[in-house]
Amino acid sequence: MHENSSGSENLHNIISIDYNANFFFDRAVKSLDRYQYEKALKYFRKAVEYEPDNPVNHCNMAGILSETGDYKGSNQVLQHILEHVDASMTECYFYMANNYANMESFEEAEKALITYLEEDPSGQFMDEAEEMMELLHYELNRPTKVNKIKSREGMVEHEHARKLLEEGKFAQAVKLLEEIVADCPDFMSARNNLALAYYYMGRFAKAKESIQGVLDVEPGNLHALCNLAIFFQHENNEEELSMLVDMLSVTVPFHQEHVFKLATTMGILGKHEAAYGHFRRLLKDEEFSSDASLYHYTAAAACNSGRMDAAAKYWRHCRKLDPTNDVPDFYLAQLGPLQNSGAESMKVSYHYHLPFEEQFKAWEHHGEAMTEEAKHNPLIRSSFFWALRHGEPHIKLQVIQTLELIADEEVQHALQLFLQEPGEDAELKDAARLVLMRLEGHSGGHSDRDNSAQHRGILPEWHDDWQQVLNTVFQCMDKRSDPFRKREIGNLWSAFLSRIYPNIPKMRNIPGWAAALDYTAAKIRGGSSTYEQMAERYGISSSTVRRYARQMDVMRADPEDNRSDFRPFTEKV
């Protein structure tokens, strides 16, 4: 009896084994650690039996088959995963490409690799895929043709848009960036640069909306926070700006691009001490130590924060790195007398070019050479377009006169947009009109139809009802206005549609919109037209003219002026 009792107790102490997928998975991993591939394969197959819908176990089985040289069997498993288990496991195509390459089936390897690149959203094996493309190029004696790389979707287009921004081609950049963001809403760099593009065009509400969209997804996105700080400064929103600057002031970025963004932002905000610290940190990096422009930025921050000797040192080094540039010599010449007089600081622009007054002096002495440089130097062109929007009146006049020397399509577009800016000085607009008329005369002139077609590039498409509004205005203007006036009306209409895009209403009342356009153009020009006069001209009621003209008030609202001399930098990927 005692022995039976003891045996019964021992039976109660036995722990039953729960045979499930995890059990066999653990056994398989232990076998792999001991290089027992046959055992590991057997255990992974058992795991698949218990969980046939788990793609991980299938992948592990395919991996072991590949490891043991059964490339064909491995590919059969991988194909089964894609067809019957989980089609989203696009990395299987990369594994299959490896197997085909090991089988020396290079054509099949290429097909699988192309499918991986075109369908995989994460790009987990991008480096390995690029190495395999080099191998296939060698084996097949031709490059691998890939139509698109899904994990890098939008990156080439984004780089092009970023260059357009830096060249001052804001309307083109907006159009391209809007397309990128529509296709890739998680592309935060594109959304940040779209906000900057809106900002440069004066579409401040859209700029903030775009930045807020980034921060809703990534509250700590440094580029977005820096851009938001600049927008707050533009709005004179002191309370919000102060809180944000306090946060940015204690931020120490790790990535060099973030350091550069924060440094430039602090310079724009007038926090020159902080900007100086960040720029000096960048100079310690070998990657940036030969960048002459960075030495100028550091010198400017030093000068603006009262470090005159340090500023002189950095400008001397800038001159050594870039001996043909006049910028360091100009500021060193300015700095000498100030140091002798005991001045504590000097306000210096962070832009790495001569102040506009000095550029124009250089133009007087070296006009042809300077014109050629401006035609091909994006930084100079960009600075001119920026000054046209934000410079002092006398600077704007000089820019307008200088742009006539450059005389290309981008210049004409910039001047046309300038004419639509509310609140600009009438004499400046007259000067811009005169330059435009001369440029149009040199190019042989355009018909009204050509003029309206030129504006369409600002918008992603041009609807028939929009053109009908223009045609209605032109018909009423035929006997009372010159061709240039029609072009001005076309520019105004295009600018209005661009500013409210994509929330453009259906143009059901063509005469109403035409009257509103005519009325708004007259007011911007300084005319004395009334609702009643427009109502009589277009055969509608004065209340209808008033209703539609109010919707066009966006063209006559005085924007706040931003005099910052240092533009926010675009974000790279």
Tens-digit pLDDT profile for residues 323-340: 888 788 888 887 877 666
Give percent of the chain with pLDDT exceeding 90.
Answer: 11
Maximum Cα interatomic distance, the chain, rounded to a whole number of Å: 126
| Mean pLDDT, residues 117-146 taken together | 81
Output the pLDDT for position 272: 92
- The pLDDT tens digits for 35-74 are 766 777 777 777 777 777 777 777 777 888 888 888 998 8
- The pLDDT tens digits for 375-427 are 555 556 666 776 777 677 877 887 787 777 777 777 777 787 788 777 778 77
In the chain, list all ranges with CATH 1.25.40.10: 21-145, 155-251
Coarse DSSP helix, strand, coil percentages of the chain, rounded to the nearest 5 percent: 70, 0, 30
Q: Are 229 and 192 in contact (CB under 8 A)?
A: no
Which helix or strand (DSSP H or E) is residue 516 part of?
helix 510-525
Encoded amino acid at 130, one letter? E
For the record, the structure tokens of 235 come out as 């709005």
What 3-state DSSP class applies to 18? coil
* Closest CA relative to residue 422, chosen from 492, 473, 493: 492
Output the pLDDT for position 511: 92
Domain 449-555 belongs to what architecture?
A: Orthogonal Bundle (1.10)
- The pLDDT tens digits for 423-473 are 778 778 877 887 777 776 555 444 444 444 444 444 667 788 888 998 898
- 21-145, CATH topology level: 1.25.40
- The pLDDT tens digits for 359-379 are 555 555 555 555 565 555 555
Mean pLDDT over each residue of the chain, to the nearest integer: 77
Question: What's the whole-model pTM score?
Answer: 0.49
The total of other beta-carbon atoms located within 10 Å of residue 257's CB is 14
| Mean pLDDT, residues 164-173 taken together | 78
- The pLDDT tens digits for 293-313 are 899 999 999 999 888 889 999
Domain 270-352 has CATH 1.10.3470: no
In the numeric block, the tokens 């022995």 are attached to: 3
In the numeric block, the tokens 């009306």 are attached to: 489
> Which comes out higher in pLDDT, residue 163 or 76?
76
Domain 155-251 has CATH 1.25.40.10: yes
| Mean pLDDT, residues 544-571 taken together | 61
Report how far residue 265's alpha carbon sits from residue 247's, in angstroms, rounded to the nearest whole number.
Answer: 13
Q: How confident is the model at residue 173 (pLDDT cuts 50, 70, 90)?
A: confident
Q: How confident is the model at residue 560 (pLDDT cuts 50, 70, 90)?
A: very low
Report how far residue 461's alpha carbon sits from residue 21's, in angstroms, rounded to the nearest whole number.
Answer: 56
Report how far residue 205's alpha carbon sits from residue 207's, in angstroms, rounded to the nearest whole number.
Answer: 5
User: b/e map of 78-107 (b: 16 or more CB within 10 Å)?
Assistant: bebbbeebbeebbbbbbbbbbbbbeeebbe
The total of other beta-carbon atoms located within 10 Å of residue 527's CB is 12
> Which comes out higher in pLDDT, residue 208 or 127?
208
Q: How confident is the model at residue 527 (pLDDT cuts 50, 70, 90)?
A: low
Task: Output DSSP code: residue 85.
Answer: I
- Burial class from Cβ neighbours inside 10 Å (0-12, 13-18, 19+) for residue 337 reads exposed
Q: How confident is the model at residue 17 (pLDDT cuts 50, 70, 90)?
A: very low
Report how far residue 420's alpha carbon sits from residue 389's, in angstroms, rounded to the nearest whole number.
Answer: 11
What stretches of 375-515 adopt beta strand conformation (E)?
none
Whether the pLDDT of residue 565 is over 70: the answer is no
The total of other beta-carbon atoms located within 10 Å of residue 397's CB is 16
Output the pLDDT for position 280: 92
In the numeric block, the tokens 């005369």 are attached to: 441
| Mean pLDDT, residues 527-550 taken together | 86
Output the pLDDT for position 374: 55
Task: Output DSSP code: residue 501.
Answer: T
CA-angle at 475, arms to 473 and 481, nearest 5°? 80
Whether the pLDDT of residue 559 is over 50: the answer is no
Report how far residue 34's alpha carbon sits from residue 38's, in angstroms, rounded to the nearest whole number.
Answer: 11
> Which comes out higher in pLDDT, residue 235 or 342?
235
What 3-state DSSP class applies to 6? helix
Output the pLDDT for position 454: 44
| Mean pLDDT, residues 490-494 taken together | 80
Output the pLDDT for position 316: 93
Output the pLDDT for position 32: 65
| Mean pLDDT, residues 476-496 taken together | 70
In the numeric block, the tokens 């706040």 are attached to: 560
For the record, the structure tokens of 452 come out as 């309206």
Output the pLDDT for position 140: 85
Report how far residue 48's alpha carbon sits from residue 60's, in angstroms, rounded to the nearest whole number.
Answer: 10
Q: Cite the DSSP H helix spans in 151-221.
A: 155-166, 170-183, 188-200, 204-217
Whether the pLDDT of residue 319 is over 80: the answer is yes
